[in-house]
Amino acid sequence: MSETRPQHSSEKTPVRIVEYEPKLSLIMIVKNEAHNLPELLEPIHDKFDEIVVVDTGSTDGTPEVARRYGAKVFFFEWIDDFSAARNESIRRATGDWLFWLDGDDRLERDQVDILRRYAKRAPQRDVVYMCHLASLSSHWSATQNLLQVRLFPKLPGLLYEGAVHERLTESIHRLGLQTDICPVTIVHVGYTDPEKLPAKYERNLRLMERILQERPDDVHTHVQMVLQLLGSGNPQKALDWTERLLELCDRKGLAGDGSRVVALHRFLLLRAMVLAQLNRLEEAAQQCLEVLEEMPKLGTAHFLLAQIYGRMNELENMYAHVLKADHYGIEMDVMPVPMLRTHFDMAMMKAAYYAEHGRWRLAAAEYRAALNINPNVLPLYYEMGQCYYRAGEHRRAVEAYRLGIQLHDEVVENARKKAPHLLESGKELIGTVLELSPEARERWGSLLFAGLSQALRALDKTQEAEEALREGLRRYPSG
């Protein structure tokens, strides 16, 4: 008979570790977004534990569309206050962590996994996360790249403030929460239709005027007023509001408060931006220099100053400051600068400087860097080709000219098939193929063929050079 061994008391049952699995809610406020919701929710609706939609008065069937994607729909009477509506969505949510989107936002499916990962990192729920926001525009150069708090825990007192351009900033500070960055990118498409922008600007300005009547010392709304007036093409009014903002800083003691000096310098840079838009370039430059005296490593100030010096044709000063902007970097939270356009402009400023000094290879490299940001700017292929040609790099010049001709032909052919009116709607002298006026597009096309012929001759490819010249004359007989 076999002996049964008793189990020793020293043998312990393994401790089961329960991993923190927070419930993640998507919260939204919407009005007449039936056309937007399918594209937004189709790829992500099953990745959240719940979707809460607060409707503020839709007449296009938005609630029914939201319910098709499993959303809980609640109704809230619009009272001209975005914070009130946003806070209602918070109140209705049951998740541990909340993530908000608007109907005209777009989010890739795999980004939700990143949101969960970052929520799980903070079981104490003592942090809020900023996400990357790419706010697209009707023009590529105006696309804004921002950081915005989008993911946060549901906590008592963590609520939005501000009737327009609502924010959590004040309640985050009151609760002593940390702020960190979550590497999630949201694409906002609400500003891509230029016909809808005037109504948005008018609505926002009306709401901000009401806020400032009630709270004339609201610094945040003063800043938003300046930005909104700039965006709607009213730089003189924007300057008036900037002066009011700086007077408010003096009254509230911002200028003497070391902990808030960055805010003051941000406002001074905002004034410089407005002055530059009014072509008061010397005043704008002086404003930037005053900021840099106190904050010499502020890359955004160096960039703005480089732009101003470029417009003043002071290329040495322009170059010195664009190098500093490149070295220190552009701070996304200092000024609302469109990052793609910023880096494009930095490459263009360096290219202009190098070309002016006959440093052709460096100039060509900067034109190539600009084209890596936006490969559709047709004139840059000609400029890059010219730089390579003057540097004696004729093969690379041929490549640059041919790339430009290929781009032109592909874009024009595609437009003829799908939207021929676009070929007549451009107004620019320098820009993408479709932004160029018909006359400018013809001019740059003619120059590309002339440059190609010249570079081929330098390579002793006489027959190809003559063919390129003939083709250019055939297409552009007046060129």
Instruction: State whether 278 and 394 are in the same domain.
Output: no
User: Are 45 and 164 within one domain?
Assistant: yes
Whether residue 2 is contained in a domain is answered as no
The range of the structural domain enclosing residue 326 comes to 197-336
d(CA 82, CA 31): 12
Q: What is the pLDDT of residue 28?
A: 98
Backbone angles phi, psi at 113, to 5 degrees: -60, -35
Packing angle between helix 339-356 and helix 315-328, nearest 10 degrees? 140
Domain boundary among 191, 208, 235: 191
Total domains in the fold of the chain: 3
Question: 406-416: b or e for each residue (b if 16 or more CB lie within 10 Å)?
Answer: ebbeebbeebe
The pLDDT value recorded for residue 5 is: 43
> What DSSP assignment string belongs to 75-143?
E----S-HHHHHHHHHHH---SEEEE--TTEE--THHHHHHHHHHHT-TT--EEEEEEEEEEESSGGG-
d(CA 468, CA 446): 10
415, 438 contact by CB (below 8 A)? no
Q: Does residue 283 share a domain with residue 317?
A: yes
pLDDT of residue 201: 81
Give the residues of the chain that fall short of pLDDT 50: 1-10, 255-261
The whole-number pLDDT of residue 436 equals 94
CATH number at residue 300: 1.25.40.10
Of 359, 366, 301, 348, whose CA–CA distance to 327 is shortest?
Answer: 301
Do the Cβ atoms of 75 and 12 come closer than 8 Å? no
> 388 — phi, psi (to 5°)?
-65, -40
CATH code, domain with 139 = 3.90.550.10
Dihedral of the alpha carbons of 197, 199, 205, 207, in degrees to the nearest 10: -130
What pLDDT score was predicted for residue 221?
86
Q: Which residues contact 166 (CB under 8 A, 6 or more apart)?
A: 82, 83, 86, 160
Q: Position 108: which residue type? A: E
Asked whether residue 219 is domain-assigned, the answer is: yes
Cα 87 from Cα 52, distance rounded (Å): 12
Q: What is the pLDDT of residue 255?
A: 43
By the 8 A CB rule, do 103 and 83 touch? no
Note the pTM of the prediction, 2 decimals.
Answer: 0.75
Structure confidence at residue 16 (pLDDT): 54
DSSP 209-265: HHHHHH-TT-HHHHHHHHHHHHHTT-HHHHHHHHHHHHHHHHHHTGGG-GGGHHHHH
Burial class, 401, CB count within 10 angstroms (exposed 0-12 / middle 13-18 / buried 19+): buried
Same domain, 77 and 180: yes
Pairwise CA distance, residues 382 & 308, whole Å: 26
Q: What is the pLDDT, as a whole number, of residue 260?
A: 40
For the record, the structure tokens of 336 come out as 């609302």
Candidates 215, 216, 145, 214; CA nearest to 185 is 145
Q: In the block, which residue shows the tokens 């109504």?
A: 199
- CA dist., res. 17 & res. 15, Å (int): 6
State residue 262's pLDDT score: 58
Same domain assignment for residues 100 and 183: yes
Task: Give the domain CATH number at 466.
Answer: 1.25.40
